[in-house]
Amino acid sequence: LEECSKIKPNDATVYFELGKNKLALKDYENAYNSFEKATQIDPKNKWFWLGMYDVNYQTKNFNRAIVVVNKLIEFDEIYKEDLVSLYMNTQQFDKALSLINELNDKIGKSDRRELYKMQILSQGKYQNEEIANLIDQINKNPKQELNYVALIRLYSENNEAEKAFEITRKLESEIPTSEWAQVGLFKYYLDLNEGQKAVNSMNIVLASTKMDSKIKHRILNEFLIFVDTNPQFAPDLGKAISYFANDDNIDVAKEIGKYYHNKKQWDKAVQYYEQALKNNSTEDIETNLLLFQAYLETKQFDLLNNKATAMVETFPTQPQFHYFSGLANNQLKQFKKAKEMLEMGMDYVIDDVVLEINFNIQLGEAYNGLGDLKKKELYFSKADELLKTKNK
């Protein structure tokens, strides 16, 4: 090819083929020069420019690539997608954002461009430009729902609640069936303490088959906090949980039970743990243990005894169930049953000092009830020794 270039110094194809060989040999600068020479002889051949672009791409010379891609766009506007990526790589975010908006308007959105856009807008200085663009898009296409959603999100992130609500209202007016409008209205009604209106919006969102589960969970969490100070809406919380009955990712009733558990609101914790076990598996070990603790706190010893004993039959090697059954029997003054259950369960306690201490205390209580003071002292002293060891 080098000999050919001497014989035909004005043959663009020779330089193009030479550039391809140089590129394969990773002789990047000479490859670029060969492709460039080909474009100088025949600037209307797209493939010659693509050769230059390939060199720039492999050497990550993004600034030089921008010049070449702008030339390629004259052949085919599809290369504007490449130009967006190049602007991102060279941190020319203003140009990238402008081009993203242009492409979104002309050919629709793409996942990659939306990802780039999120990256750009995380830098606050570009948000005003995007707000202006979204307002313009809404005015031109008032039935395009996602533009409203994006604008509401930006206003919310900037703590401009009134503007967010204004756009939400406009969305509801233009698209009365919009479920996204109800997301914004729900939050607004909560802030105004208009509980029933918030409930109506929440139920529309939770019933939606289009709405992302993360949004649904967020709304439920916000409503849970609202119900904590507005208990008259507790029945609506129960209905809201029913929308998550088939959620494979999160047991919502159980998580609400934990919320009340941590706040030591035991009656409510019991209610939601029982619902969780009813909705899902009645044999879920963690949920049962949480429920048994709540039964203990609310002194529901009959229930605790019946359910813990049933769980012992299902999971005979789980010592916690023996423990709760023994404790409940002690409280019910059924000391013989308590002793039998605790002695059986003690064999399964391994590397759990706290549980072992509790077993010994309850065994001491059982023997005390049976009038065997010697064994009572034996188990209480074991508990004391373990407690000393634990606190060292």
What is the distance between the alpha carbons of residues 243 and 208, in angstroms, rounded to a whole number?
A: 10
* pLDDT attached to residue 392: 64
347 and 372 inside one domain: yes
For residue 261, tell me if it sits in a domain: yes
Is residue 312 located within the same domain as residue 355? yes
Instruction: Verify that 307 and 381 share a domain, yes or no.
Output: yes
| Domain-embedded: residue 354 | yes
36 inside domain:
no
Note if the pTM is more than 0.75.
no
C-beta contacts of 269-275 below 8 A and 24+ residues apart: 269/294, 270/294, 270/295, 270/298, 270/300, 272/241, 275/238, 275/241
Q: 355: exposed, middle or buried (C-beta count within 10 Å: 0-12, 13-18, 19+)? A: middle
**Are 274 and 363 in a shared domain?**
no
Residues of the chain with pLDDT under 70: 281, 392
* 332 and 366 belong to one structural domain: yes
The CATH number assigned to the domain holding 375 equals 1.25.40.10
Q: Are residues 272 and 341 in the same domain?
A: no
The reply to whether 266 falls in a domain is: yes
CA–CA separation, 273 and 294 (whole Å): 9
Residue 336 belongs to a domain: yes
> Do 356 and 269 fall into the same domain?
no
What pLDDT, on the 0 to 100 scale, is given for residue 228?
Answer: 85
Give residue 349's pLDDT.
93
Last residue of a domain, one of 269, 289, 309: 289
| Residue 74 structure tokens | 């004259």
Q: Give the relative orientation of helices 195-207 and 179-191 as an angle to the nearest 10 degrees.
A: 150
Residues 285, 305, single domain; the answer is no
Q: Which two tokens stand for residue 284?
A: 């879920």
pLDDT for 128 = 80
C-beta pairs of 203-212 under 8 Å, 24+ apart in sequence: 203/239, 203/240, 204/179, 205/179, 206/240, 206/243, 206/244, 207/243, 208/179, 210/179, 211/179, 211/183
Of 289, 319, 350, at which residue does a domain stop? 289
Give the distance, in angstroms, between the CA of residue 327 and the centroid of all CA atoms in the same chain.
Answer: 40
Please tell me the total count of domains within the chain. 2
Tokens 């060199």 correspond to: 55
Query: What gap in Å lies between CA 163 and CA 64, rounded to an integer?
Result: 43
What would the two tokens of residue 201 be? 């919006």
Residues 367, 317 share a domain: yes
| CA 62/CA 76 separation, integer angstroms | 19
Domain closes at, from 238, 269, 289: 289
φ and ψ at residue 118, rounded to 5 degrees: -60, -40
In terms of Cβ atoms closer than 10 Å to its own Cβ (0-12, 13-18, 19+), residue 307 is: buried
**Based on the domain organization, do 312 and 277 belong to the same domain?**
no
Regarding whether 335 and 315 lie in a shared domain, the answer is yes
Q: What pLDDT digit, counting tens, does each position of 282-312 carry?
A: 778 999 999 999 999 999 999 999 999 999 9
Q: Give the range of the structural domain holding residue 346, as residue numbers without chain letter.
A: 299-392
Residues 307, 338 within the same domain: yes
